[in-house]
Chain A
Amino acid sequence: MKFILKTFLKYYLKTITKIVLFIHKPVVIAVAGSTNKSFVKKEVKRRLEEAGFTVRANPKNFNTEIGLPLSILYLPSGYNEYKKWIPAILKAPLKIFQKKFPDFLVLSLGSSDKGDMRYLLSIIKPDISIITNITQRYKEGFSDMNNLVDEYQVLAKKTRKEGVLVLNIDNYRVREVGEGKKQKILYYGKEKEADIYISKIEKNKKGQKVSIKQQGRKKDYQINKFGEHHAYAFAVGLAVKKVGRPGR
Chain B
Amino acid sequence: MGFMFERVKDIKLSTIKEIELRASKYPDAVSLAQGIPDFDTPDFIKRRVERALKRGVVAKYSLSPGLPELRELIEESLEKENMFYDWEKEILVTAGSIQGITATIMAITNPGDEVIIPEPTYTSYQEVIKLAGCKPVFVPLNEEEGWSFDIEKYKKVITKKTKAIFYCNPNNPTGTIYSKKQLLELAELAEKHNLFLISDEVYKDFIYDEKEFFSLAELPELRKRVIRIFSFSKAFAMTGWRVAYLHSDEENIREIIKVHDSLVTCAPVISQYGAMGALEIGEEKINEFRERYKKRRDMMCERIEKLNSVFSFVKPDSSYYIFPKINPEAVDIKKKKKVVDSREFAFWLLEKSQVAVVPGVAFGPNGEGHIRLSFGRREEDILEVFNRLEKLFL
> B-contacting residues of A (Cβ < 8 Å)?
35-36, 38-39, 60-61, 79-80, 112, 137, 140-141, 205-207, 224-229
Contacts and interface: CB of A to CB of B under 8 A. Distances in A.
Contact of B84 (A137, A225, A229): A225
Contacts of A227: 75, 85-90
B221 A205 contact: yes
A228 B88 CA distance: 9
Interface stretch (B66-74, B318-326, B370-378): B66-74
A206 B87 CA distance: 16
A141 B55 contact: yes
B68 A79 contact: no
18 contacts: A35-B72, A36-B72, A38-B76, A39-B76, A61-B280, A80-B44, A140-B55, A140-B56, A140-B57, A206-B220, A207-B84, A225-B79, A225-B84, A226-B84, A226-B85, A226-B86, A227-B88, A229-B86
Nearest to A81: B43
B72 A38 contact: yes
Contacts of A141: 55
Contacts of B250: 226
Given A79-B281, A137-B68, A137-B69, A60 B76 contact: yes
A61 B69 CA distance: 11
Contacts, number: 52
Contacts of A79: 44, 281
Nearest to B43: A80
A60 B43 CA distance: 19
Residue in B68, B73, B76, B86 with the greatest tally of chain A CB atoms within 10 Å? B86
B47 interface: yes
Interface residues of B, number: 26
Majority-rule SS of B interface residues: helix
A106 B92 CA distance: 30
Contacts of A38: 72, 76
Interface of B: 43-44, 47, 55-57, 68-69, 72-73, 75-76, 79, 84-90, 220-221, 223, 250, 280-281
Contacts of B90: 226-227
B336 to A, nearest CB: 58
Given A227-B87, A227-B89, 7 more contacts: A35-B68, A39-B72, A61-B281, A140-B55, A141-B55, A207-B220, A227-B88
B88 A229 contact: yes
Contacts of A137: 68-69
A140 B57 CA distance: 7
A227 B43 CA distance: 33
A89 to B, nearest CB: 20
Contacts of B47: 80
Nearest to B279: A60
Contacts of A112: 55
Given A35-B68, A38-B76, A205-B221, A224 B88 contact: no
Contacts of B89: 227
Nearest to A225: B84
B221 A224 contact: no
A225 B76 CA distance: 11
B249 to A, nearest CB: 8
Nearest to B91: A227
Contacts of A80: 43-44, 47
Nearest to B284: A79
Considering residues B56, B68, B84, which has the most beta carbons from chain A within 10 angstroms of its beta carbon? B84
Nearest to B75: A227
A224 B230 CA distance: 23
A36 B76 CA distance: 11
B20 to A, nearest CB: 34
Nearest to A141: B55
B251 to A, nearest CB: 11
A42 to B, nearest CB: 9
Sorted nearest first, the 5 A-B pairs with minimum C-beta distance are: A227-B86, A226-B86, A61-B280, A225-B84, A206-B220
Nearest to A61: B280
A60 B68 contact: no
A35 B220 CA distance: 25
A140 B52 CA distance: 11
Contacts of A60: 73, 76, 280
Contacts of B85: 226-227
A80 B223 CA distance: 40
